[in-house]
Amino acid sequence: MMDELELLKRDWQKKDKQLPQLSFDEIYKMIWKKSSSIVKWIFLISIIEFLVPHLLYLLPSMSKNLAVWKDLGLGNFLLISNVLQYTVVLFFIFQFYRRYREISTLDNAKKLLLNILKTRKTVKYYVIFCLSLIFLSFIVMAVGIYLNEDPMAAMGYSYQPENISREQLKTTLIATVVVLGVVVTLVMGCIYFLLYGILLKKLKKNYKELKEMDI
C-alpha cells in the first residue's frame, strides 16, 4: 500500500487550480490595511497600562486625595514612592521597548513566540509592581489614620458623629481602608490576568507544543 501521506502530497500539489486568485490591485489595497495581530494588541494594551495610572492624577478627585495624604502626614511617603515609581516605570518602558523591537516575523516560529512572551512578561512584572504599590498605599493610609489624632478632619469631613467613640471610628476607618485596598487590588488583578489569559492562550499553547518537540 502506498504511503498515505504521499497520496495526500500528490493531491495537495494539484490544488493550485482550486485556490482563489487575487489581482494586483486587490493585493495592493491590502498592504495599507491596519494589522490586527496579537503583537499589536499587546503593544496597545501595554501603552494603556503604562498611561492609565498617571492619567488618574489629572482627575480633580484624585488631586483632592493627594491633599488628604498630606493632611494625614504622609507627604514624605508620597514623594519617595513617586520617585521610586517613576524610576521603575522608566526602567520598565525602556525594557519593554527593547524587547518589543526584538519581535520579528523573520525569526523562526519558536524564537518569535519566545520574544513575544518575554515582552509580555515585562508588562506583567510592571503590573504586579503597580498592584503592589496600590495595595501598599492603602496600607500606608491605614497606618496614617492610626497615627492621626483626628482622621476625619484630615480627610476633609468636619462633622463629628455622636453615637460612636473616636476609637471606634478609627478602627472602622482603618478596616474600611484595608478591605477597600484588598478589593481594589484583587479586582484590578483579575481584570488584568483575564485579559491577557485570553490574549495569550494560543501563544502559550503553541510555544509549549514547540518546546515539547525539542525534548
Which residues are near other proteins by CB under 8 A? 3-5, 7-9, 11-24, 27-28, 30-31, 33-39, 41, 104-113, 116, 199, 202-203, 205-206, 209-210, 213-214
Contacts of 103 (CB under 8 A, 6+ apart): 39, 112, 115, 116, 119
Q: How far is the CB of 209 from other proteins (least distance, A)?
A: 4
Other beta carbons less than 10 A from residue 65's beta carbon: 15
Residue number, 111 or 170, with CB nearest to other proteins: 111
Give CA–CA dist 215/210, Å, rounded: 9
Q: How far is the CB of 119 from other proteins (least distance, A)?
A: 12
The amino acid at residue 186 is L
Q: How far is the CB of 31 from other proteins (least distance, A)?
A: 4
First-to-final CA distance of the chain: 33
Q: How far is the CB of 210 from other proteins (least distance, A)?
A: 5
C-alpha cell at 2: 502506498
Q: Which residue has the cell 498515505?
A: 4
Contacts of 55 (CB under 8 A, 6+ apart): none
Dihedrals φ, ψ of 158, to 5°? -95, -20
User: In whole angstroms, how large is the CA radius of gyration of the chain?
Assistant: 27
156: left (phi over 0), alpha (psi -120 to 50) or beta: left
Residue number, 13 or 61, with CB nearest to other proteins: 13
Q: How far is the CB of 45 from other proteins (least distance, A)?
A: 13
Q: How far is the CB of 3 from other proteins (least distance, A)?
A: 8
